[in-house]
């Protein structure tokens, strides 16, 4: 189905990509919003309407698997320094199970029906990189009709999407400008998951864990610089690996440095660890 959709849209996609590249500068996030008219024109064009009629209705009709995630229910049209996707929203699906923060700027257009969006406020003094168990505060609700543009701002919008019937969503998404995304319980409005938006960081953490499990002490010097990584979770995973691979004096010096880390979780963990080895 993916190839048939993209073949229906090949000329439209090429034209859109060229137009977007002439406007969008991923180093300047605000230029993303200058793409609204281009994006809206593309979605309302004859090409995507034909693709919707020919292929995407089949996508909506296909039942969701119990463990389905966006990658199962989404077609990638363009992916690079911005992404263009067609997904689906179905009543009662996993998309309605949680409230999410925005890590990227995004514009979403519903096709085939309306969508309700609830917006929430984060707790006072909330930071996206620090766990905060306080609940969200409901702010407002809006209904977007078929063909309307929904704007989701990175680092600002916290939202929950619901639909009354299966519809398609066409999404234009910038590169992530926030390092983490949060998911909140729909009923309690409290957080239950924080995830990194940077796949390379997750691979680094896996590599540190594997090195420690394998006992590869000769990699200590290679891991050491990552105790100063910009992502606090990478810093701490590097520290944990070195603690298993190096001697106590090296570990003590690193912990003393991390006891003054800018991130409160790292400071506390380092201070607690220092007390255990003194």
- What pLDDT, on a 0 to 100 scale, did the predictor assign at position 72? 43
Segments of the chain with pLDDT less than 70? 1-4, 6-8, 47, 53-57, 59-73, 93-96, 278
- What pLDDT, on a 0 to 100 scale, did the predictor assign at position 68? 42
Read off the pTM.
0.78
- What pLDDT, on a 0 to 100 scale, did the predictor assign at position 237? 92
- What pLDDT, on a 0 to 100 scale, did the predictor assign at position 69? 41
- What pLDDT, on a 0 to 100 scale, did the predictor assign at position 67? 42
| Nearest-angstrom CA–CA distance, 24 and 174 | 9
- What pLDDT, on a 0 to 100 scale, did the predictor assign at position 110? 92
- What pLDDT, on a 0 to 100 scale, did the predictor assign at position 55? 67
* Cα radius of gyration rounded to whole Å, the chain: 22
Structure tokens at 218: 């000769």
Measured between alpha carbons, how far is residue 267 from residues 132, 232, 256, 261 in Å? Answer: 16, 10, 9, 5
The number of helix segments (H) and strand segments (E) in the chain equals 9, 11
- What pLDDT, on a 0 to 100 scale, did the predictor assign at position 215? 92
């Amino acid at each position: 189905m993916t190839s048939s959709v993209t073949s229906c849209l090949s000329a439209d996609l090429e034209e859109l990509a060229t137009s977007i590249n002439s406007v969008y500068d991923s180093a300047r996030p605000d230029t993303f919003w200058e793409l609204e008219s281009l994006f809206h024109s593309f979605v309302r064009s004859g090409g995507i309407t034909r693709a919707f009629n020919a292929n995407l209705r089949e996508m909506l009709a296909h039942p969701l698997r119990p463990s389905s995630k966006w990658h199962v229910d989404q077609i990638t049209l363009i992916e690079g320094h911005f992404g263009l996707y067609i997904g689906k929203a179905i009543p009662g699906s996993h998309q309605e199970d949680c409230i999410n923060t925005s890590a990227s700027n995004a514009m979403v257009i519903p096709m085939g029906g309306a969508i309700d969006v609830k917006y929430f406020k984060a707790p006072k003094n909330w930071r996206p990189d620090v766990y905060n168990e306080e609940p969200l505060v409901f702010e407002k609700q809006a209904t977007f009709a078929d063909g309307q543009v929904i704007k989701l701002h990175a680092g600002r919008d916290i939202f929950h999407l619901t639909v009354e019937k299966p519809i398609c969503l066409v999404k234009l998404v910038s590169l992530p400008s926030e390092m983490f995304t949060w998911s909140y319980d729909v009923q309690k409005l409290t957080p239950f998951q924080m995830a990194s938006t940077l796949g390379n960081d997750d691979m680094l953490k896996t590599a540190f864990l594997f090195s420690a499990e394998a006992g590869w002490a000769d990699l200590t010097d290679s891991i050491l610089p990552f105790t100063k990584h910009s992502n606090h979770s990478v810093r701490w995973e590097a520290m944990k690996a070195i603690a298993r691979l190096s001697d106590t004096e090296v570990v003590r010096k690193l912990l003393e440095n991390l006891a003054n880390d800018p991130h409160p979780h790292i400071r506390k963990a380092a201070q607690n660890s220092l007390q255990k080895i003194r």
